[in-house]
Every structure is written in structure tokens, then in C-alpha cells.
Amino acid sequence: MASKVIFKKTSKDKSVGVYMAKRDFVDRVDSVEPVDGVILISPEILQGKKVFVTLSCVFRYGRDDQDVLGIAFRREIYMNTRQVYPPLQDKEQGILTKKQAKMLRKLGENAYPFFFEFPDNLPCSVGLQPGPRDVGKVCAVEFEVKAFSAECQDAKVRKRNTVRLAIRKVQYAPETGGAAPSVVTDHEFVLSDRPLHVEASLGKETYYHGEDINVDVNIKNHSNKIVKNVVVSVEQVSNVVLYCNDSYMETVAIEDSGHSVAPGEGLKRTYILVPLLAHNRQRRGIALDGKLKHEDTNLASTSIIKEGVLKEVMGILVSYKVVVKLIIGGMMGTSEVGVELPFRLMHPKPEIVKESEEEDMVFEDFKRSNNKGMMDDDEDDNMSGGEGSEAE
């Protein structure tokens, strides 16, 4: 019989436990998968306290424990809190999926369902890779499910009464792509009667992480200048749009060919580039998809925004382009001629696995490796439903 892993985490005082069937929730641009799970409570330990669960989206920049001129490095983009226990509605009305129903049957009468619907204007999970010496620093959009017990929603909450789980909001490549990018240009030079003709194209608009990107380049040098080198690269552009309008452009793959084209000659080549995080692990400022485990992380996927949504609330926007750069020799030194090909870098949409009634459940502790500079599930952030929390 097949087994389905259910991720679980319990508060230190054993009063509250959270059970979730998955950690990644898909943004389809026009809709987002709801966040659902089950809360298991211990009435004896709660001693009359209520239990709440919160879904939050946070933009973090720097360190949470630092505050400069009254400006915190943490901003909540979204937060929604609901009371789970005592239940405010019939338990059956709170069941959203078959997985929840199976978990409730397996966990017993002290288990209660919860679910949240994402607004359609939230960013996806993404962060900028810190440098080797940037311990504890992070610039990232992160999502979290937090369950806690308290007398009321706004009461002070101890860390030992709280469970915090990092989740991710992700996007997959659309099923239909646009036209394959291509560009044609003629560059004129002073004291040259004829131009330098450059053509560049890609095979398609969307590439998957780890896939070869074939860049077709066709150069016809009708000018009297020498093309001393052809450099082809993949550039990642990250726009931090929430608190400012900073833009970071990082080279994530490059082919420095050394090819030259003399006046009156031509060059027709296909250059192969593979942008991978494995080749950029020590590069500060590279945008990554949100981290849950180190092996799950890759270069950030291209951001796709629903039409009409304000870009200013999207946190970090990521895009990619291939740049073909020609180094031109001359009497006064070298110059450059370049063309750009925007494209998408994403994950393919996974196959939908049909839920089986016979599928057994295996409960696995929900842990995340303590990656430098990224949020950890046990990290002590604001531990309150409201203000003035107390942490142990």
C-alpha cells in the first residue's frame, strides 16, 4: 500500500500540534491553492486557553533583531488569523480536502481542520542569497503558518505555546508559451560605410531549471571594424519593489567564446548556457526560490504577475534575459555592441497525483535545515497574535 507523508510539528509544551499534507502551494496567476491542515490540541494542557492559527506573508530585509532610526527590517505584507479551538463552526464545515478528512479520522476527536485562501495580490516565495559573511542577514519574501494557544487572539504568547511552519508559494511554467525571442540589428560605425549585422534567437520563450539554453547567433561583419570577442551570458534581474526600487543584475551563466570576426567575414554559432545555482552558491545577491531545505533550492523562477496587480506589493520581482555582447576593436580602444533576449526560467508543472482512499499516512516531523541567512522554523520572531509578545 502506498504511503503519504504528513508533515507535523508540535509546540514545546505539547498543547498544540500542526499537521499538513504539503509545504508548497501553487500560484496559477488567476488563482492560488488554499492552505489547509489540521490542528491537534491537548485540552488537559490548554486548561481553558483558546487555539488560533495564522497565515502570514513577510518581507524581511536585514535582521529582525536590528532597528535603525526606528525603521524595522521586517514588514508584514499579509496576515490572517482564525480561531480553531473552541471551534466557531461545525467541524465538518471546516473540512476542505479529502486529506484533511483522513487526518481528522486518524488523529481523533481532539483534531480540528483549518484552511486559508491566499489573496491574488501576494508575491511568491523568493529571497536574495546572502554573502559568505552575511550571517543572519536576509532579503526575502517568506510565508508562514503559525498556531498558538492564548486566552485571546491579542494576548501575549510564549514561544513554548507556539508552532511555526515555513511554507512556500510557488509558480510553475504556463502550459502555453509565447513566441520564441529573437532580435535583429544593424549597428553603424563612424567612418564605416557599411554596418555590423547581428542576429540572435532562442528556441522558445520558457526554459526549465537545469535545461540547456541554445542561443543561435549569426554575425555578418560588413563594417571595417574587427569583432575581437563574442560573449554570451544569462543575466538575472531582481527588482526589490516593496520598500524601494533597487535593481540587481547578476550573471548566472556565461560563455566567453574568444571568437573573432574580421571585416567582410561572418560567424554563425550556437552557444549553450545552463544557469544553475550550483555554479553561483557563493554569489551575494543572486535571487533564489524560497528555501525549505537546501536541496530544494534553485535560482529564483521568473515572476508572473496577474494583470492589474500593483507591482509595488510584490516584494521581489525576478526576470531573465540572454545578452549577446560583441567586443569591437578600434584605434581608440574597444567598444561594445549588444542585444538582449528576454525569456522565462521556471519549473514544469508537476503531474497531478490522484488521492487514494487506501493510501496510508506516515507522519514526519516538519523541520528545515538551518540555512545561513534564511528564516528557520524555530527562529523567534514576533510570537504574538498582536503586540508585546514574550518569548522563552
pLDDT digits (tens, 9 = 90+) for 285-298: 889 988 765 556 78
DSSP conformation class of 332: T
Contact between residue 120 and residue 31 where contact means Cβ atoms under 8 Å apart: yes
Question: How far apart are the C-alpha atoms of 7 and 23, rounded to whole Å?
Answer: 8
Average pLDDT over residues 171-181: 86
Average pLDDT over residues 248-265: 93
* pLDDT score, position 59: 87
pLDDT of 228 strictly over 50: yes
Identity (one letter) of the amino acid at 76? Answer: E
At 311, is the pLDDT very low, low, confident or very high (cuts 50, 70, 90)?
A: low
* Sequence ranges of the domains in the chain: 4-171+351-365, 182-346
Among 157-161, 253-257, 283-287, 293-297, name the one with the lowest average pLDDT.
293-297
Topology given in CATH for the domain delimited by 182-346: Immunoglobulin-like (2.60.40)
- Average pLDDT of the chain is 82
pLDDT of 269 strictly over 70: yes
pLDDT of 30 strictly over 90: no
* pLDDT score, position 179: 92
pLDDT of 391 strictly over 70: no
**Residue found under cell 524601494:** 244
- Which carries the bigger pLDDT value, residue 349 or residue 30? 349
Q: Which pTM does this prediction carry?
A: 0.81
* pLDDT score, position 262: 94
DSSP run (H or E) holding 249? strand 246-256
* pLDDT score, position 203: 95
pLDDT of 196 strictly over 60: yes
* pLDDT score, position 1: 45
Average pLDDT over residues 188-217: 93
Adjacency order of strands within the sheet including 226-240: 206-208, 335-346, 316-329, 226-240, 246-256
pLDDT of 346 strictly over 70: yes
> In degrees rounded to 5, what are phi and psi of residue 222?
-85, -5
* pLDDT score, position 69: 44
In this structure, what is the dihedral angle of CA atoms 276, 379, 51, 361, given to the nearest 10 degrees? 40
pLDDT of 131 strictly over 80: no
- Percent helix, percent strand, percent coil in the chain, to nearest 5: 10, 45, 45
Domains 4-171+351-365 and 182-346 share a fold: yes
Q: Which option is the CATH number for 4-171+351-365: 3.40.50.300, 3.40.50.720, 2.40.50.140, 2.60.40.840? A: 2.60.40.840
